[in-house]
Amino acid sequence: MLELRHLRTLVALRDAGSLVEAAERVHLTQSALSHQLKDLEERLGNPLFMRKTRPVEFTRAGLRLLSLAEQILPQVRMAERDLARLAGNEQGRLHMAIECHSCFQWLMPTVDHFRDHWPEVEIDIPGGHHFDPLPALAREQLDLVITADPQPLQGVHYEPLFRYQGLLAVARQHPLADKPFIEPADLADQTLITYPVERSRLDVFTQFLDPAGITPREVRTAELTIMMMQLVASGRGVCALPNWALTEYLERDYVKAVNLGEHGVWSTLFAAIREDTRSAPWMEDFLRTARETSFRVLEGIKPA
């Protein structure tokens, strides 16, 4: 009567808070997900959650199955890892580079969790490398690159992790703070603060300013997000960052955030890996852990 997919669906529904987002997480249409849940409820003879509530409110039967899922699903993951070891697939190396300055918020919990379950896999995040990460991945100097800027390279596969929205952070008293959304021309007389990377890798340029032919009055760089927020809060510039990177500063009312454009600027974060490691059990588990951790610790992201 019960299948693992049912338990995974209920966990996704709990974590996402709505049928629409849960369907995206388990890679089903909303109609297919609704049918799966309705069929399960009919077989069990109990409703599992209250319709038209947000976030979703579970019935006693639904809570009981969620409790079961919390016990069963981690055991299944552990068994899958053990079976991979028994098959002799435990050896591996995971040297990675990150082309995303604000990724450590979710990446480090992912690495810690992965290391606990795959101690045989050598993990390293080399610092201070003076080469392009993606070509280095193709040359086998690296094994994984976190990037939002995929390039066509032979033998390299881009696994989508999640979608995120870029927002413009401004000082609370800034003239742009009360606008419903930012237009490219609004930044023509502004100082734009960015991380010290090429403009071709910054969404605010490639997806927002460059198509409109707009150049900010000045561009200055800062290495750390907190440094950027200090500059923004003191009125010395504005900056575009992923929504999750701004969460703690918005909660403290340190700065304000405004959409870039009427429909927003959305991008996808990828894990670039080589085709020859794509099916390795430890790599599959790392990517799965990365997605699960991201949706647990980040706000405002969507399934890719």
Q: Which among 24, 14, 9, 27 has a CA at the least distance from the CA of 73?
A: 9
Say which CATH number the domain at 191 has: 3.40.190.10
Q: Which of 241-245, 271-275, 299-303 bottoms out in mean pLDDT, i.e. has the lowest?
A: 299-303
Same domain, yes or no: 234 and 292:
no
Q: What is the CATH number of the domain that holds 73?
A: 1.10.10.10
Query: Where does a domain end: 66, 86, 106?
Result: 86
Are 292 and 152 in a shared domain?
Answer: yes
d(CA 125, CA 78): 25
Whether the pTM exceeds 0.85: the reply is: no
Query: Kindly report the CA angle at 128 between 231 and 247, in degrees rounded to 5?
Result: 35
Residues 69, 125 within the same domain: no
Whether 79 and 105 map to the same domain: the answer is no
pLDDT of 145 > 90? The answer is yes
Q: Under a CB-based contact definition with an 8 Å cutoff, are residues 158 and 269 in contact?
A: no
Give 217-252 pLDDT, tens digit per residue.
999 999 888 999 999 999 999 999 999 889 889 999
CA–CA distance, 232 with 238 (Å, rounded to integer) = 5
Same domain (yes/no): 286, 261: no
Token pair belonging to 299: 């706000």
Above 90 in pLDDT, residue 49?
yes
Query: Which residue's entry shows tokens 């249409």?
Result: 29
**300 pLDDT tier (thresholds 50, 70, 90):** confident
- The backbone torsions φ and ψ at residue 300, rounded to the nearest 5 degrees and listed phi first, read 80, 10
Residue 282: is its pLDDT beyond 80?
yes
Query: Are both 293 and 152 inside the same structural domain?
Result: yes
Considering the chain, what percentage of its residues have pLDDT values greater than 90?
56
Angstrom distance (rounded) from CA 191 to CA 257: 16
The whole domain housing 11 covers 4-86
Is residue 258 located within the same domain as residue 289? Answer: no
Instruction: Give residues with Cβ within 8 angstroms of 187, minimum separation 6.
Output: 168, 209, 214, 216, 238
Supply angle C-alpha 263, 267, 270, rounded to 5: 160
Do residues 218 and 249 share a domain? yes
Same domain as 254, residue 127: no
Query: What's the chain's Rg over C-alpha atoms?
Result: 22
**179 pLDDT more than 80:** yes
Kindly state whether residues 150 and 277 are assigned to the same domain: yes
Q: Which residue has the higher pLDDT, 181 or 122?
A: 181
pLDDT at 197: 84
Give the closest residue to 100 by CA, choosing from 296, 290, 292, 303.
290
Task: Give yes or no: residues 99 and 239 share one domain.
Answer: no
How many domains does the chain fold into?
3
For residue 90, the model assigns a pLDDT of: 57
Residues 74 and 18 in one domain: yes
Secondary structure E strands in 59-203 = 92-98, 121-124, 144-147, 156-170, 191-194
